[in-house]
Amino acid sequence: MKTLNDFNFENKKALIRVDFNVPLNEKFEVTDATRIVSAKPTIIKILEDGGSCILMSHLGRPKGFQDEFSLKHIAAKVSDILGVEVKFVTDCIGSKAEEAAANLQPGEVLLLENLRFYKEETAGDKDFAEKLSKLGDVYVNDAFGTAHRAHASTTIVAQFFEGKKCFGSLLAQEIESINKVMETGEKPVLAILGGAKVSSKITIIENILDKVDHLIIGGGMAFTFVKAQGGKIGNSICEDDKMGLALEILQHAKDKNVQVHIPIDTIAADDFSNDANTQIVDINAIPDGWEGVDAGPKSRAQFHDVVMQCKTILWNGPLGVFEMENFAQGTIELGNSIAEATKNGAFSLVGGGDSVAAVKQFGFENKVSYVSTGGGAMLESLEGKTLPGIAAILE
Query: What sign has the CA pseudo-torsion 176, 182, 183, 185?
Result: positive
Nearer of residues 200 and 369 to ligand AMP, judged by Cβ: 200
Decide if residue 197 touches ligand AMP (CB under 6 A): yes
60 is in an annotated binding site: yes
**Residues 324, 273: contact at Cβ < 8 Å?**
yes
**Per-position DSSP letters for 321-379, written without gaps between them:** -TTSGGG-HHHHHHHHHHHHHHHTT-EEEE-STHHHHHHHHTT-TTTSSEE-S-SHHHH
Is there a catalytic annotation at residue 353? yes
- φ and ψ at residue 362, rounded to 5 degrees: -100, 10
Residue nearest to ligand AMP (CB): 195
116 is in an annotated binding site: yes
Please identify which residue in 51, 145, 168, 195 interacts with ligand AMP, judged by CB under 6 A. Answer: 195
Shortest Cβ distance from residue 39 to ligand AMP (Å)? 26
**Residues 35, 146: contact at Cβ < 8 Å?**
no
Decide if residue 296 touches ligand AMP (CB under 6 A): no
Among 15-23, 42-50, 108-116, 196-204, the segment contacting ligand AMP (CB under 6 A)? 196-204
**Residues 263, 253: contact at Cβ < 8 Å?**
no
Decide if residue 292 touches ligand AMP (CB under 6 A): yes
Shortest Cβ distance from residue 237 to ligand AMP (Å)? 4
Is there a catalytic annotation at residue 376? yes
Q: Which is nearest to 383 in space by CA: 249, 208, 204?
A: 204
CA geometry: angle at 31 spanning 26 and 37, to 5°?
Answer: 140
The site string for ligand AMP over 321-360 (x = CB under 6 A, - otherwise) reads x-x-----------------------------xx------
Decide if residue 219 touches ligand AMP (CB under 6 A): yes
CA distance 93 to 256: 52
Positions annotated as catalytic residues are 35, 197, 353, 376
Residues that bind ligand AMP (CB under 6 A): 195-197, 200, 219-220, 237, 292-293, 317-318, 320-321, 323, 353-354
